[in-house]
Structure 1
Amino acid sequence: MLQLAFSRYINNFKGFSREIWILTLITFINRAGTMVLPFLSKYLKEDLHFSYSQVGWVMVCFGVGSMAGSWLGGKLSDKLGFYRVMIFSLFTSGIAFVLLQYITSFVGLCIGMFSIMIIADMFRPAMFVSLSAYAKPENRTRALTLVRLAINLGFAAGPAMGGLIIMSSGYKGLFWVDGITCIVAILIFSLLVKEKEKTSEHKDAIIETSNKSVFTDTPFWIFLFICMTSGILFFQLFTTIPLYHKVQFNLTEFQSGLLLMMNGLIIFFTEMAVVGYVERKQIDKVRIVGFGLFAMTVSMFLLLINTWSGILVVMMLFMTFGEMFAFPFSNSFAMSRAPKGHEGRYMAIFTMSYSLAHILSSKIGMEIIGRWGYQANWFFMGTLGLIALGFSIWLRKLLSQEND
């Protein structure tokens, strides 16, 4: 029985092209080195002594830059190709992250974070388009999941190492590691993966679908609201929750990193099996995304229990399973809605929904905490999740009508 289960688990990792495995490797290197983001709010608050409102504004600039970069990356991927966009984005942002440590003023950091995220987040839609180019259609959801596993394994290692770096040499070391790993990752990619030429069939498809617009796809926009809300709840892990760990339970950076590490390890060992099962059983993707959103909503309400530190572990378990259900199938659904030749545009707007979530997650969260405290924030976030669950029911009805 155990051997059968193990064999089935291993089979989920078969059938990928060499390029997909290289993409997975560079994603892991890049994300393991992404140590600035999980500790950015703590760095601004505790090292630079910014107010909650100022921290919120820097995070807003981070999110606005991310939105602009996602849109630009999608447009350029359709026009110039994903390959060039990926190389420019990671190499340039690597240099920029190293330089960011020398900016310590509030206005300077707002401008710096905005500029860096424009460059850095051009990578995301380009990477999604590259998956559609290098993966077979039947493997795309699993390929997306494989890359997400690399992201989560990187996040499992990154925050724990980041916490140790902060305790030994301060926050400055994080900027060096983040920048260098970006450059190393893209050098590996450029050496091992060659650019894939667009086929004549693909070019014909671009002409055929040129009159179709993402802006008239109503179910897709309802779906984006659901994605944005799940992103708002999830990004609390990197904005308000690390501060809450310290204020309410006096956790160290290393202990906060271990909680994030638990999240990454659970996803690494179980997400591919979950995706494989859902694919085999052909379970509705929007239904699974709804389950994920429900688990995230529960995790926010759990934080209302503020007298027992163990609730942070329980909350993280709910958030982890919510993420596992919501995110890989969101990626897959977004890609499935895109007509050929418009993948970059669709994935740009899809990634922009998470960039907007980052803006709203940090700014709304910090403002609520500054005015009414942490408890009010958890209640607000949980209520927002319930509203989005209503939208997911509406979306399923619309899609059902489309298929009739």
Structure 2
Amino acid sequence: MKRLLNNYLNTFKGLSQEVWWLALITLINRAGTMVIPFLSLYLTESLNFSLSDVGWIMSAFGLGSVIGSWLGGRMTDKVGYYKVMAFSLLATGFLFIALQFLHTFESLCFGIFLVMLVADMFRPAMFVALSAYSKPENKTRSVTLIRLAINLGFSAGPAIGGLIITTLSYGGLFWVDGITCIIATLVLVMVLNPKKAKVLDEVVVNNPKSAYDDKAFLMFLVAMVLFGIVFLQYFSTMPLYYKEAHLLTELEIGILLGTNGFLIFLLEMPLIKWLENTRFTKTGLMLFGAILTGSSFLILNFTPWSGVLVLGMLLMTVGEMITFPYSNAFALDRAKKGNQGEYMALYSIAFSIAHIFGHNAGMRLVDKLGYDNTWYIVTLLAAFCVFLLFGLSRYLNMKKAQRQKSVEPLIENTLIEHE
């Protein structure tokens, strides 16, 4: 048992002190955004908005996320990741506090749009900072550590949020959200000051390539939008399926969904550490993860036995643990040839787009076609994602072969001249 624990702890070794601080800041920030899971309840129960109005307000939420990610990437390339992160965290804190004083439909649409715009400026800046504070060989594990912080934050946030609502009402929730963002800003300023923090992989590109001209990266982004749409069904349509098709209780649904976070916390870092020592490529691993995630929906139609839900959750969790860290690492690698903020902004936007369309499309498909047909369609989307990732792998191999061919004559000429 002691050896097993030591092996687990060893998977965290080699990561820089700055990455650990960045993970703590992310944990505080994500745990602090506890208002998000309760937003629809707040809008319907406290402010008495209709479901249609809530739908439009949530669309403003998604639109703010997309524009914020894009703007964060632009600002990161212009003024640097540190200033963008500090501004985003501090301004988000004050905006969360102010949000509780908005009560009309129009003001809430604008307020939530503005909150998400400022809040999601943090993401591309954080990814660029993560790249700078990580050694090249540790980038995937550094990303995995940040994912652990995000998962812990999202796990703790709703539980703390429910307690705050019970004791202090929704108003208290906005105050705590705002204060935690401000605390995260203070931690950032104290421990990640550019004059003190140690940069391990500084990338300077004299003639940066635009991400919009990078065909491989654009193909990758489309695949990630599709993967995001498929993955998000586990947090929108799937809980309804558990309850309506398999008659699970809220407690059973909570345990099943909680298994996902627990397995990620327990196994993702050792899994990534092991995969780092294999010969698999990032695109090959993403492709395999997408196959597992798509399969988790397909098997649901094979049997009415409720045990298949556990198998589906396991397949999805392993697929997520492989695809997300390696997709993030792939984006960081591609960003080295261009404007890093622009690349990481587009990567963040891919999942913002998935949020805008994924939940809504899944609900409508279930309503019109039923669960079985919806799972077939979701599996088809996953298959298209796999096809794109396979095409991406072939394209990158072709480009690599072309570069090798162009280098060979130069090497031969050099040898001839030497002789």
TM class by shorter chain equals 0.7 to 0.9
Inter-partner Cα distance in structure 1 for 2:371 and 2:349: 27
Residue 150 in 1 paired to residue 149 in 2? yes
- Residue 391 of structure 2 aligns with an amino acid whose one-letter code is W
Could you tell me which of 392, 396, 407 is aligned with 1:399?
396
1:281 to 271, 278, 283: 278
Residues 134-171 of structure 1: CA deviation (Å, up to 9, x unaligned): 11122111111111111112223223444555566665
Where in structure 2 are the equivalents of 1:159-238 lying within 5 Å?
159-165=158-164, 171-195=170-194, 205-207=204-206, 209-210=207-208, 212-238=209-235
My pick for the range that moved more, 37-46 or 27-36, is 37-46
In structure 1, C-alpha distance between the alignment counterparts of 2:279 and 2:254, rounded to whole Å: 36
Q: Deviations over 1:69-121 (max 9, x none)?
A: 11111111111010110011111112222333444544443322221111010
**What's the offset of the Cα at 1:202?**
5.9
- Residue 73 of structure 1 aligns with which residue? 72
Residue 386 of structure 1: aligned partner = 383
Change (3 A) 1:313 1:92: farther
Query: 1:334: which partner in 2?
Result: 331
Q: CA deviation at 1:233?
A: 2.1
Summarize deviations over 1:26-49 as a string: whole Å, max 9, x none.
111222233233344455566666
Change (3 A) 1:135 1:219: same
Matched letter for residue 339 of structure 1: K
Q: Which structure has the larger Rg over C-alpha atoms? A: 2
Residue type of the alignment partner of 2:70: W
Residue 100, structure 1, aligned to residue 96, structure 2 = no
**Offset at residue 242 of structure 1 (A):** 4.9
Q: How many residues align?
A: 398
8 Å contact from structure 1 (residues 225, 353) kept in 2: yes
| TM-score, structure 2 normalization | 0.84
Cα offset for 1:3?
Answer: 5.2
In structure 2, C-alpha distance between the alignment counterparts of 1:179 and 1:364, rounded to whole Å: 32
Identity of aligned residues (%): 47
**Cα separation, partners in 2 of 1:295 and 1:163, compared to 1, 3 Å:** farther
Question: How far is 1:230 from its partner?
Answer: 1.6
For residue 351 of structure 1, report the CA deviation from its aligned partner.
0.8
Give 1:245 deviation, angstroms: 5.7
Structure 1 residue 324: Cα displacement: 0.4
Amino acid at match of 1:185: A
Corresponding position of 1:33 = 32
Partner Cα separation in structure 2 for residue 266 and residue 100 of structure 1? 35
Deviation string 1:327-363 (CA, Å, 9 cap, x unpaired) is 0000000111123562111111111111111111123
Distance 2:190 2:105 in 1: 39
Amino acid across the alignment from 1:228: V
The normalised TM-score by structure 1 is: 0.86
Take 2:309 and 2:166, find their aligned partners in 1: how far apart are those partners?
22
Q: Confirm or deny: 8 A CA contact 1:53 1:370 kept in the other structure.
A: no
Residue 28 of structure 2 aligns to which amino acid in structure 1? I
Provide the rounded CA distance (Å) in 2 between the counterparts of 1:82 and 1:246.
44
In 2, are the aligned partners of 1:98 and 1:176 still within 8 Å (CA)?
Answer: yes
Bigger CA drift: 96-105 or 389-398?
Answer: 96-105
Question: Is the contact between residue 133 and residue 198 of structure 2 (CA under 8 Å) also seen in structure 1?
Answer: no
Corresponding residue SS for 1:403: helix
Contact 2:221–2:350 (Cα < 8 Å) also in 1:
yes
**Distance in 2 of aligned mates of 1:369 and 1:20:** 42
What does residue range 36-47 of structure 1 map to in structure 2 within 5 Å? 36-41=35-40, 43-44=42-43
Structure 2 SS opposite 1:346? helix
How far 1:235 moved relative to its partner? 2.4
Tell me, what secondary structure is at the counterpart of 2:8?
Answer: helix
Deviation at 1:220, TM superposition (A): 0.9
Aligned to 2:12: 13
* 186 and 376 in structure 1: CA distance in 2 versus 1, 3 angstrom threshold: farther
Mapping of 1:266-277 within 5 angstroms?
266-277=263-274
Distance 1:214 1:281 in 2: 29
Unaligned 5+ segments in structure 1 are: none
Kept in 1: contact 2:210–2:338 (CA 8 A) = no
Over aligned residue pairs, what C-alpha RMSD do you find? 3.1
Go from structure 1 to structure 2 and tell me whether the alpha carbon gap of 1:295 and 1:202 turns closer, same or farther (over 3 Å shift).
Answer: closer
In the TM superposition, residue 303 of structure 1 has moved relative to its aligned partner by 5.5
1:106 and 1:311 mapped to 2: Cα distance? 42
Amino acid at match of 1:365: G
1:271-310 mapped onto 2 (5 Å cutoff): 271-301=268-298
Partner residue in 2 for 1:86 = 85
